[in-house]
Amino acid sequence: MMMRINKKKNSSFRVEGSLFEIDSKYEPIDSIGKGSYGIVCSCRNTDTNEKVAIKKISDVFSSQVDALRTLRELIILRNIRHHNVVQLKDVMITCSKSTFKEVYAVYEFMDSDLHQIIQSPQPLSPEHCQYFMFQLLEGVKYLHLTNIIHRDLKPANLLINANCNMKICDFGLARTSGGDGGEFMTEYVVTRWYRAPELLICRNSYDTSIDVWSVGCIFAEILLRRPLFPGHNPLDQLKRVIDFLGSPTESDLDFLDNPKAINFIKGLPRTKGVCWKAMFPEADSLALDLLQRMLVFNPKKRITIADALQHPYMFDLYNPTEYPPSHKTLDVNIDAYVGETNLRDMLWSEMLFYK
């Protein structure tokens, strides 16, 4: 429920019980939702008559993790422009550098997200599935060209418009490819159901292939209309993956350098895996072939995003000559900047880009 309070230089209203105090040019429309990292509402920009989504991050410095997540999102979205990545339009400054505790980020408005669509009774045709996957692959390829691993790809982070256009959002857990891959490994990398096997095994290094695994899980979820690996904990998640794929061979484990992890996996009950065609009876052969190349236990053997776009399943949609080049590579491995003073300075600097 949203209640308007006043309209002076700033506009004040409540969303999900939280007070929003923002530029008066933004008129509130409705609450969109409340998550662990902020509250979001829809507004209209009266200067442009454009509908936008505004996210409020409260008490941003109460947790170093939350402050870093917010800073990382602002850095990435300021530097990235792609039709399959959500656009950050504005970041409002509502008080001084020394006193601000809240961040208001203004994004382009999207009607829904892929999680809501999958959970809905709305039918999805093979063409819907193909188009969603094509857009997801295009967006992730651009991120990888820009040196970014998203690390939290899941249906709820894929925004969808009524015309079925998709945009990737939520870059708070992203990292630079080739950077310090081990930080926040077990708890803060990828929502568990979409987490690659190498992360479940707590391997201390990873690369862009973890995003490929997540994309494969999303692909399967679109086809099934339910999550493929809804594990209750990391161990249960790993067992579900192995039960589905079959017990790893020696070559499947050659990326591991931890004898304890290897012995643990070998000690699990032997399984042949599932019949993919029986699991996905409505999927065509090309869709299944691409899915099988994504959901591979060994990250070294997984298809790349670039090769996935050139797979025959994407033949009708992908034109490499139309693909926009990456203009820059980014470095968002900023965890070394500990302490509120550094984070406050860096967040303030990012906010100033929008003034």
The answer to whether residues 290 and 221 belong to one domain is yes
Residue ranges at the known binding site for ATP: 56
pLDDT at position 4: 44
Count CB atoms within 10 A of the CB of residue 183.
Answer: 14
- What letter would DSSP give residue 85? B
Would you say residue 7 has pLDDT above 60? no
The answer to whether residues 198 and 59 belong to one domain is no
pLDDT band at residue 166 under the 50/70/90 scheme? very high
Tell me what the mean pLDDT of segment 86-100 comes to. Answer: 92
- What letter would DSSP give residue 303? P
| CA torsion, ordered 155, 158, 159, 161, to nearest 10 deg | -90
Task: Decide if 62 is inside a domain.
Answer: yes
The answer to whether residues 236 and 271 belong to one domain is yes
Treating both helix axes as pointing N-terminal to C-terminal, what angle do 126-145 and 285-294 enclose, rounded to 10 degrees?
30
pLDDT band at residue 5 under the 50/70/90 scheme? very low
Q: Residue 12 maps to which CATH number?
A: 3.30.200.20
Q: Is 261 left (phi over 0), alpha (psi -120 to 50) or beta?
A: alpha
pLDDT at position 185: 39
Instruction: Give the pTM.
Output: 0.91
pLDDT at position 8: 45
Task: Decide if 331 is inside a domain.
Answer: no
> What is d(CA 281, CA 46) in angstroms, rounded to the nearest whole number?
49
Count CB atoms within 10 A of the CB of residue 329.
Answer: 12
Q: Which domain holds residue 41?
A: 2-109+337-352
- Hey, which residues does 13 pair with through a beta bridge? 4, 20
The answer to whether residues 55 and 26 belong to one domain is yes
The answer to whether residues 91 and 239 belong to one domain is no
The answer to whether residues 45 and 127 belong to one domain is no
Would you say residue 236 has pLDDT above 70? yes
Residue ranges at the known binding site: 56
Task: Decide if 329 is inside a domain.
Answer: no
Q: Residue 139 maps to which CATH number?
A: 1.10.510.10
Tell me what the mean pLDDT of segment 193-199 comes to. Answer: 94
* pLDDT (tens digit per residue) in 27-85: 999 999 886 678 999 999 999 999 999 999 999 998 888 889 999 999 999 999 999 99
Known catalytic residues? Answer: 152
> What is d(CA 112, CA 131) in angstroms, rounded to the nearest whole number?
16
> What is d(CA 168, CA 144) in angstroms, rounded to the nearest whole number?
13
- Report how far Cα 280 is from the mean position of its chain's Cα atoms: 25
Query: Taking Cα atoms as reference points, which of 287, 239, 244 lies closest to residue 264?
Result: 239
Higher pLDDT, 214 or 16: 214
How many domains are contained in the chain?
Answer: 2
Q: Which of 111-125, 270-284, 285-299, 340-354 has the lowest mean pLDDT?
A: 340-354
The answer to whether residues 141 and 196 belong to one domain is yes
Would you say residue 220 has pLDDT above 60? yes
The answer to whether residues 95 and 236 belong to one domain is no
Q: Per-residue b/e over 62-79, b at no fewer than 16 CB within 10 Å?
A: eeeebbbbbbbbbbbbee
